[in-house]
Structure 1
Amino acid sequence: MRERHLRTAHMVASVLLAYPDERLHDGLDVLAAEVTGLPAGETRERLAAFLTHAAATDPALLAAHYVATFDLKRRCCPYLTYYAYGDTRKRGAALLRFKHALRAAGFELTDGELPDHLAVVCELSARGAVRQARRLMTEHRAGLEVLRAALDEERSPYAGVVAAVLATLPPAGARARETAARLAADGPPAEAVGLEPYAIMEAG
């Protein structure tokens, strides 16, 4: 996939993976047109399918599903460093890499969101830092695979969006597959340090 297509795919995914507010619902037609311009393949099909679902779903129901899935189920966590480091002190250092990548691209978060949220990393790519964003996602591919599998088990349409993002990355190697299997079985490391938003999340 060409860089301009990657930026488009990640731009759409960043909107879809954020809380479904007016930005999503007012922009459905524009997003659908952007997706139509992508090359045929899994990424285009998955993004188009979610847009069809969003257009046919009551906005309040979609928002409620988003909160119930991403905010209240630990296993469906959209924060990439969580899978590798859990709520441990090592996670702080990992977050710095994401912060530095955003800052180098001139991208400053102003809404209090953590820099490793998948929607934020996708937006980083959409803003032009494709190589940096893909590297961060590839480094945390095992976590992304666990997230997609958890969303599949929840029968959430968001599984398709995560699958669309995964399809823009290089194929998973044996190490990533082994790590994903271990994380799915054992979960992330445990060492509670009171990091939000995990303190309010239940084991899902």
Structure 2
Amino acid sequence: MKELMILSRLLEYPDAALWQHQQEVHAALAESDVLSKEDAQSLCVFVRDLTQKDVLDVQADYSELFDRGRATSLLLFEHVHGESRDRGQAMVDLMAQYAQHGLELDSRELPDHLPLYLEYLAQLPRDEALGGLQDIAPILALLSARLQQRESRYAVLFDVLLKLASTEVDSQKVAEKIADEARDDTPQALDAVWEEEQVKFFADQGCAESDIAAHQRRFAGAVAPQYLNISTGGER
């Protein structure tokens, strides 16, 4: 599905290629027989607004939005397992899934990065691709709500992905989940996380286990439909 490939590119760290090829993106969206005209137009407006700004400013905004704190992280397992020891096995399983479909990762890429996952889905038959979107619909809904709360234009990308998934998500449960959340991207919040990590680091020095084993257990889990317990169903 070329639409998933476009959305993957729009969610990646922005670079000059988008500015250079924006007209091609507009043309591909206009020709889509998967997106509604309204959604295609919304994405075109997103691209237009983004590329009207200087690329360095857009890059700075992107890093502020997605790389500070965990609430809007584009790492899928961050919203499923966090620092749980289940995360590592999930990474291994997902990489094996990619490999079965000929997708090779370089050493800098984490398999649960949303743009990479969308690129993978884009290579699959349409029904399988939409099934993969349905699996992560609760995460997409949560990210969409948080981005709307922050008045970010990136929210529209998640709204389009949710429409493609055609899965109902309980918006009331999403709203309740984020209602009392404190921002985790403020200097104070980031300092608190750093201090917590320091405490964990020094506490771990007394453990007999190897650092490698401890690291491996921090990252584990598998993508599962229940994620945040906010999905109310949907047909594949």
- TM-score normalised per structure 1: 0.78
1:46 is matched with 42
C-alpha separation between the residues in 2 aligned to 1:26 and 1:67? 21
2:22 is matched with 28
Alignment partner of 1:85 is 2:81: yes
Kindly provide the amino acid, as one letter, of the partner of residue 110 in structure 2: L
Describe the superposition over 1:109-152 as per-residue Cα deviations: whole angstroms up to 9, x where unpaired.
11521111111111112233544443333222111111111111
Answer whether contact 1:125 1:133 (CA < 8 A) is retained. Answer: yes
C-alpha separation between the residues in 1 aligned to 2:9 and 2:141? 20
Q: Which has the larger radius of gyration?
A: 2
Structure 2's unaligned 5+ residue stretches are: 182-196, 201-213, 220-236
Are residues 53 and 155 of structure 1, via their aligned partners in 2, closer, same or farther at CA, if it must alter by over 3 Å?
A: same
Kindly provide the amino acid, as one letter, of the partner of residue 11 in structure 2: L
Report the CA distance between 1:81 and its aligned residue. 1.8
2:4 is matched with 10
Describe the superposition over 1:2-25 as per-residue Cα deviations: whole angstroms up to 9, x where unpaired.
xxxxx1211110110000012222
Matches within 5 A, 1:86-165: 86-128=82-124, 130-165=126-161
1:200 is matched with none
Kindly provide the amino acid, as one letter, of the partner of residue 91 in structure 2: L
C-alpha separation between the residues in 1 aligned to 2:88 and 2:169? 26
Kindly provide the amino acid, as one letter, of the partner of residue 7 in structure 2: A
2:189 is matched with none
Answer whether contact 1:42 1:167 (CA < 8 A) is retained. Answer: no
Q: Greater helix share, 1 or 2?
A: 1
- TM-score normalised per structure 2: 0.68
- Indicate the percent of aligned positions where both proteins have the same amino acid: 26
- Give the match's secondary structure for 2:164: coil
